[in-house]
Copies of this chain bind each other. A is one copy, B any other.
């Protein structure tokens, strides 16, 4: 275990901080005991006795940790609070809340995409598991014809983003996987995205389709350098399609 940095948070006892105090105690306990996901924390009754606090206070503290995805509780015998591995989805949802009051433009999102997605492609070139590759190719059938209406165009676009999320999830760099996945999630959650892609044309569809096909080939047989280059072209093209559209991302829904 790494040396535990002592937290002065407990010393600064502001007002009405009993609940936070219990929450901090539990987090410190997890770290100090080196608990791993699945490990059990003391029961409510034990905490009440050990900390000398009421049931409500202890419960509020566990709820706070549960809200952050750190623990999860089960009822019944052998139940209690267990350390939980925060899911990427949960972490993305919380991060999305942070951006709820901030204005993100599509250009902002693509500025990161254009830098990071090629890295993902380079890392995954020749390393995509066969079943995943098969899944990706199967999904490609959605794109084998131009969209017949706006709704289908939107569906194609969401499916494309889903592919990028799935690919990112395979990436061995957890941070890269998370950030790229987060951006794709934000883009798919956008209700305005259909408007973005409304001025469509057969040429644009063709371009997207070709990029997609080349990308899959590069992932399966190409070198990291070719995969990176293909993905970069793909991103730059997509970015160019909407660069002038200075549409502010509409606030979505808190999650």
Contacts and interface: CB of A to CB of B under 8 A. Distances in A.
Interface stretch (A57-65, A154-162, A236-244): A57-65
A8 to B, nearest CB: 12
Interface stretch (A126-134, A145-153, A171-179, A204-212): A171-179
Contact of A94 (B56, B66, B91): B91
Given A2-B251, A98-B91, A252-B5, A16 B64 contact: no
Contacts of A3: 191
Interface size grouping (class) on chain A? 35 or more
A4 interface: yes
16 contacts: A4-B253, A5-B252, A27-B255, A28-B253, A56-B56, A60-B60, A60-B63, A67-B68, A69-B97, A69-B98, A86-B101, A108-B173, A111-B173, A115-B115, A116-B116, A179-B179
